Structure 1
């Protein structure tokens, strides 16, 4: 890719993206420019990745062919107001903020631009992110693929219809929190039965990681994989029965749907 990629915001997600891009060698470090008011974060990123940095967002906007707005949702109106007259005419704007739909972003810029709305998640920080990608009608297929490749450099990505973005927010954006709670609960049970705390977290987390990898790598239905572990009259089916008795699946479904509804409310 022979383009300049700009980032406004050098927080955790921004640095996760920069790390993925540089590791995959999608562009040379000199073709990445990052703007942020936090000079400490900029210095850290410059030293680690060899990229260009600045405290002037307009410098980023004037140079970037692909411009990633990696700031908190509440800062979007302020940031966009400051840069909207400085972005290139043919720039592709990438938004990664929950609740910021394409139409709203277009209105903040005051004109129709190429906009790709993306919902990433925090496992991007360890190279295992999941991102939903939705371009507006000005973005070409090739430009959409460029953005997809950026997010696939630190995980996986899928192109989705914007109407699914609220579901994406819950099933992958917010759900890591649910998974962490599951890991913590399993570890607590192991500690209760005598296992040291640090060891219990390792066993529980690795079990979740390996199980997820089996779903992705085998293509088998999760129910079929569950059945493989459940021997007749065995230990696992005893635990499955306890989860069913406590309404485990219904609790998870309710949590995901509640999160989706909250995302819909925030998008209005």
Structure 2
């Protein structure tokens, strides 16, 4: 009966017990990166890639999101995009929260995919019966002047205003290179991706490019991206979810910005981030 209810998405099972080595990693992460919350889950028997670890990490992210949604008062929640956030929402149990409002943290991919910001928000509405708002603008525009034009649009200004009042913002970690969403969704051509590599760009944090040391990039393609305002990243409660060893450098860079309050990942990723000799 429990399995049937689980398959019908009527119940969701979360595992409370966490191995002691994961708890130790959580403690170290909390201290080193000044986090207020950290969840490190054991790796499964699957490969340590994003696809292999996604289910266990996304389940932990869904548990975190479900816990925040247990509060019944009205709240605004910022939501990132990408494959990780899409899977987090897919694994979220149905919880009726009509007073919850969800707003995208970045522009659109202009590609039909469950990872698209619009689709992630739409899936949340299906699970919660809340209200949703998406950026009516692309994540990457053609020219810097186009970005300024979109920023003047009332709908985009409304989204930023909502994010400023968000109770918390939950995002994924975008990496650069093979398998990245930039590559998968054709957002950048080969020359543009090479430019990012030369600038040591390591991660995309809610539409903001960051180098390996945790510094925000202000030149080149960064001037054409439409994401969260940096002051919002620094002032809001931001929780990032990261799956896959290919993302460990991107996750470390994101943590080095000091913008994250919470972090959800797997054991091997946490170990690699904390390894002082890792390059």
The TM-score by the shorter chain falls in which range? 0.3 to 0.5
Bigger radius of gyration:
1
More contact order relative to length (CA 8 Å, sep ≥ 6): 2
